[in-house]
């Protein structure tokens, strides 16, 4: 009798989760946990609506401050959990879709697309070129600013790539600004590394001369 009650409770929670996600799937920002600036949200929604109307593609964002894993789940179990969590969200999305997920505490970023978009969107190009550099930047910007910029940057890149494939121009596009931002960050990082190496070499040579 107890097991039947537990089963019913589990089914109710699953149904509520499904319904809540299904309602959210009508929006483009499924979750942001207060990490995305309202101005960035407005721009993302503009691009999302235009992409849906002109490109026939739904582009979604799912940003969380944490999945609440803590130190309890690590390694392969962590990866499995993250994939299962994303799978639940994917079930209620409207195809064709592109879903970018982000979890700050777990340091997890991913991009999943429906089958029809797999040959158009390069996951690694989007994440490595437009998202991760902004999240990982060692500057004075707050986490709030970084997540907002990375979310907007990645979202815009996805929309632009699909638009280019269909030879359609999006009025809401931010153009090459996203790539420029990432490129500037990379140049700065490489410059710092080179300066650091030169400084280190100079110190070593100076010490050798003293000896």
pLDDT tens digits for range 168-205: 999 988 874 555 455 454 444 444 444 554 554 545 55
Contact 156, 182 (CB under 8 A): no
- pLDDT digits over 6-26, tens only? 444 444 444 444 444 444 445
Lowest-confidence region among 49-63, 77-91, 108-122, 149-163:
77-91
Q: For residue range 74-125, what is the model confidence (pLDDT) as tens digits?
A: 778 888 888 888 999 998 899 999 999 999 888 899 999 999 999 999 999 9
Check residue 163 and give its pLDDT.
Answer: 95
| Mean per-residue pLDDT, 132-152 | 82
Token pair in block for residue 28: 């483009």
pLDDT averaged over every residue in the chain: 77
Query: pLDDT grade, residue 70 (50/70/90)?
Result: confident
Instruction: Assign residue 19 a region (left: φ > 0; alpha: ψ between -120 and 50; beta: otherwise).
Output: alpha
Give the mean model confidence (pLDDT) for residues 44-52: 94
Residue 6, pLDDT score: 42
Task: Look up the CATH architecture of domain 27-210.
Answer: Roll (3.10)
Instruction: Give the pLDDT of residue 1.
Output: 44
pTM above 0.75, yes or no: no
Residue 13's pLDDT is 45
Top pLDDT among 59 and 134 is at 59
Residue 4: is its pLDDT beyond 70?
A: no
What is the pLDDT at residue 9? 45
What is the structure's pLDDT at 118? 94
**What is the reported pLDDT for 115?**
94
Q: Where are the domains of the chain?
A: 27-210
Q: Which residue has the higher pLDDT, 74 or 161?
A: 161
pLDDT value at residue 209: 55
């Amino acid at each position: 009798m107890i097991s039947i009650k537990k089963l019913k409770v589990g089914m109710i929670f699953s149904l509520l989760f499904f319904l809540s996600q299904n309602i959210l799937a009508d929006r483009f920002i499924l979750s942001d946990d207060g990490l995305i600036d309202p101005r960035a949200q407005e721009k993302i929604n503009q691009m999302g609506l235009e992409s849906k109307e002109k490109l026939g593609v739904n582009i979604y964002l799912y940003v969380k401050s944490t999945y609440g894993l803590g130190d309890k789940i690590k390694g392969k179990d962590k990866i499995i959990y993250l994939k299962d969590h994303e799978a639940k969200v994917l079930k209620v999305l409207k195809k064709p879709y592109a879903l970018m997920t982000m979890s700050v505490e777990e340091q997890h970023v991913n991009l999943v697309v429906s089958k029809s978009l797999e040959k158009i969107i390069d996951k690694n190009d989007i994440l490595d070129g437009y998202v991760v550099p902004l999240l990982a930047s060692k500057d004075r910007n707050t986490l709030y600013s970084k997540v907002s910029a990375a979310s907007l940057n990645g979202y815009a890149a996805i929309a632009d790539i699909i638009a280019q494939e269909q030879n359609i121009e999006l009025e809401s596009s931010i153009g090459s600004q996203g790539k420029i931002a990432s490129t500037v960050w990379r140049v700065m990082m490489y410059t710092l590394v080179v300066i650091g190496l030169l400084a280190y070499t100079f110190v070593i040579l100076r010490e050798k001369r003293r000896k």
